[in-house]
Amino acid sequence: MLNREGRPTAPAARDLDAAAPSFTGARALEKDEPLLFEIGGLDRSGVDVEEAGDFAPRLGGLERTRAIGLPGLSEPETMRHYVRLSRMNYAIDLGIYPLGSCTMKHNPRLDEKVARLPGFADAHPLQPESTVQGALALMKELSRWLCALTGMPAIALPPKAGAHGEMCGMMAIKAAIEASGELETRTTVLAPESAHGTNPATAAALGFKVRAVPARADGTVDPGAVGEALGPDVAAIMLTNPNTCGLFERDAREIAARVRAAGGYFYGDGANFNAIVGKVRPGDLGVDAMHINLHKTFSTPHGGGGPGAGPVALSERLARFAPAPAVVETAHGLRLMEEPAGGSFGRMAAFHGQMGMFTRALAYMMSHGADGLRQASEDAVLNANYVRARLADVLSAPWGDRPCMHEALFDDAWLKGTGVTTLDFAKAMIDEGFHPMTMYFPLVVHGAMLIEPTESESRRSLDEFIGALRDLARRAKQGGAGFAEAPIHAPRRRLDETLAARRPKLRWSATPERAAAE
Ligand SMILES: *Cc1c(COP(=O)(O)O)cnc(C)c1O
């Protein structure tokens, strides 16, 4: 039998009796896995050492008197536990990871190899500076590349994620406002309705009020609307470009000029830099501060909470407020300057930032070269437009008639009357072997489905993905049978996410009585 893409298919697993369980509960190599505590006994140990015998502890009465409470497992049991868990995970090394806004791209093994070089990987942040000159030189070189790519004069390396970078950039803006004596009056930050949630959250965490700027019908921000929202109370605007709808903000320069004329600052959310590296320099758009998610644009395996790095590019007027430490060149070599001259607002984090990510990012940049980085952006945009165009006749898209940047955005208008929701559709993708796209974001689009294929995907891999989505769309429109139950092949079906968020079980207890009491 051939599927619609002309490739042979096995009899669909869907047709098998999903209700017939195996003796072990496993599905072939897919095994359910209990907690470590449930496998290993507290009374067992994976190592075979003799009892210590009689000895006098010298811990001043602070020695432990009760069992430590860790489960004892043998080495093979331990290995199997983690390998089995890892098999339940989806990963960029398994298949396309089309999460919009996340830029899940292939991580070149070359970058990994470089990051593992002992001189970088084994360096300790408290080592004397004279012994880590190479690592400091790498940080300086990375800053130089980031300055060149952003067209901005200064880089702060310490922030450890995009959101942390937003915090850093906005703290620099706040410090500048304080220095000009306007902290009491400039209390508001503007953010478009389509903004990533971290933007208003960052502003609010720093004590600013957030004023939403509505999007115009074409999905972009209108300088006129920004003008209306501006006033002497505005500290800054936070704008993502390309925005979270996958569209380039064409009026960014005019917006910047208006904000600046009103005495405010322009924070650029650079999480979508992957679409414009080598094509547009944010500094040329009038951006004052912009974080760069090294873990998105410049590779680094991320997801599940880390690791990340969010260096911030700063304009001339913000550079002196940058956080400590900074890498500076002195007569005695490179130094991590703890007290940079001028108005540094202080520290963002312990030490100097994420060395492993710096190494990967610079390896990525240098191996691509300036022309390669530009081509990666172009390919990312091309791939997204290929997905957009090849799904245009089956899915609906709010701005589907126009080319997108690096993300293709669809809505749920096409699902109307089918009984299938965006969530059902995403869950059905899991049964087809794909990680779902980003759902219900950006909030300005109803039932949004945001697909970011990145430049990593080949034409063949995109065609397979598109073929699966087209087939799911056909099934959804033909009555949508099975969608409410999806996923049926995943190790876990639909979780009660509300319950998990409201009453998370964070502790394991040895006895059911204690568990009930907790
Ligand atoms: C990913 C992202 C962020 C936050 O970055 P983290 O590294 O996840 O903290 C902020 N804004 C946008 C538009 C993003 O896509």
Q: Return the pLDDT at 25.
A: 79
- d(CA 103, ligand 1 centre) in Å: 10
Q: Return the pLDDT at 7.
A: 53
Domain span at residue 174 reads 110-365
Residue 512 lies in a domain: no
Residue 441 lies in a domain: no
Helix (H), strand (E), coil (C) string for 330-377? ECCEEEEECCCCCCCCCECCCCCCCHHHHHHHHHHHHHHHHHHHHHHH
Q: Return the pLDDT at 78.
A: 92
End-to-end C-alpha distance for the chain, whole angstroms: 55
Top mutation candidate among 239, 269, 276, 298 for ligand 1, by most atoms within 8 Å of CB: 269
pLDDT digits (tens, 9 = 90+) for 470-496: 999 999 999 999 999 999 988 888 989
Q: Return the pLDDT at 14.
A: 45
339-369 b/e with 16+ CB inside 10 Å = b?
A: ebeeebbeebeeebbbbbbbbbbbbbbeebe
Is residue 219 within 8 A of residue 191, CB to CB? The reply is: no
Q: Do you know the residue count of the chain?
A: 518
Residue 8 lies in a domain: no
Closest-CA residue to 425 (of 443, 413, 439): 439
* Ligand 1 and 297: CB distance under 6 A: no
Residue 443 lies in a domain: no
Q: Return the pLDDT at 46.
A: 80
Distance CA 406, CA 275 (A): 5
Residue 118 lies in a domain: yes
* Ligand 1 and 269: CB distance under 6 A: yes
Residue 296 lies in a domain: yes
* Ligand 1 and 300: CB distance under 6 A: no
Is 149 in a helix, a strand, or coil? Answer: helix
- Joined together, the tokens standing for residue 198 give 């971290």
- d(CA 293, ligand 1 centre) in Å: 7
Q: Return the pLDDT at 237.
A: 98
Helix (H), strand (E), coil (C) string for 229-285? HCCCCEEEEEEECCCCCCCCCCCHHHHHHHHHHCCCEEEEEHHHHHHCCCCCCHHHH
Amino acid at 476: A
Residue indicated by tokens 């126009």: 402
Distance CA 312, CA 337 (A): 17
- d(CA 193, ligand 1 centre) in Å: 16
- d(CA 198, ligand 1 centre) in Å: 7
- Positions of the chain with pLDDT under 50: 1-2, 8, 10-16
Residue 231 lies in a domain: yes
DSSP structure class, residue 99: B
Q: Return the pLDDT at 515.
A: 55
How many domains, the chain? Answer: 1
* Ligand 1 and 240: CB distance under 6 A: yes
* Ligand 1 and 161: CB distance under 6 A: yes
Q: Return the pLDDT at 4.
A: 52
Amino acid at 34: P
- d(CA 97, ligand 1 centre) in Å: 16
CATH of the domain at 197: 3.40.640.10
Residue nearest to atom 6 of ligand 1 (CA): 162
* Ligand 1 and 354: CB distance under 6 A: no
Is the whole model's pTM more than 0.85, yes or no?
Answer: yes
Residue indicated by tokens 């589907």: 400
Residue 468 lies in a domain: no
